[in-house]
A and B are shown apart, each in its own frame.
Chain A
Amino acid sequence: GENVEQHPSTLSVQEGDSAVIKCTYSDSASNYFPWYKQELGKRPQLIIDIRSNVGEKKDQRIAVTLNKTAKHFSLHITETQPEDSAVYFCAAPPFSGGYNKLIFGAGTRLAVHP
């Protein structure tokens, strides 16, 4: 089955710095890679996703890069702000079962200090 590994588990940055979170996956047939943000006490929400036919996608201060050969994808947050503080999860759908579910990484707790 799919195994999604995420690093680092915690990340502390100064406001204005960049933050990078990395994930690797095991199922080479996986073709969709979302990132979710979960603020304390709230439900996870999608912040950006990428499909296997592109290598990079940007949305304002957030970008995701994908390396299919190496089976890893990364979340990049530039010009971090205190409101970016949250737990971030990467995820990938395993091919087995026809892509009908999502496996999450362990999560990264990001702290942005003013």
Chain B
Amino acid sequence: SAVISQKPSRDICQRGTSLTIQCQVDSQVTMMFWYRQQPGQSLTLIATANQGSEATYESGFVIDKFPISRPNLTFSTLTVSNMSPEDSSIYLCSVGGSNTEAFFGQGTRLTVV
């Protein structure tokens, strides 16, 4: 199993600003994942954070909007840049899942006003 700490747990931000979300895992993992969960919706994969290389983004998500850092095997950050109200969502980091149990952080509830 893996224990994931994510912060902040929630934030209210002004449009046009940026927010950086941090994710810390209690063990070393090769890949970390960032998901967005819009209100009442499913989990949509934003990108895979790879240690030592650039993140791999899914269709519809770009690095300029969602820059990701992965400085080591236990930590990653996701920045939501130049925010608009449409970015209001829950953002979750995760490890595992493709052939074993996925573990999720508690999520960051972002409200953009």
Residues of A at under 8 Å CB distance from B? 1, 31-32, 34, 36, 42-46, 49, 89, 91, 93, 97, 99-107
Contact = CB atoms under 8 A, between A and B. Distances in A.
A106 B107 contact: no
B92 A93 contact: no
Interface of B: 31, 33, 41-45, 48, 56, 59, 92, 97-99, 101-102, 104-107
Contacts, number: 54
Contacts of A1: 59
- Chain A at the B interface: mostly helix, strand, loop or mixed? loop
Contacts of B48: 100-101
A34 B104 contact: no
A91 B92 contact: no
Those 9 A-B pairs whose CB atoms lie nearest each other, nearest first:
A102-B97, A93-B98, A43-B104, A46-B101, A99-B98, A104-B43, A32-B99, A107-B42, A104-B42
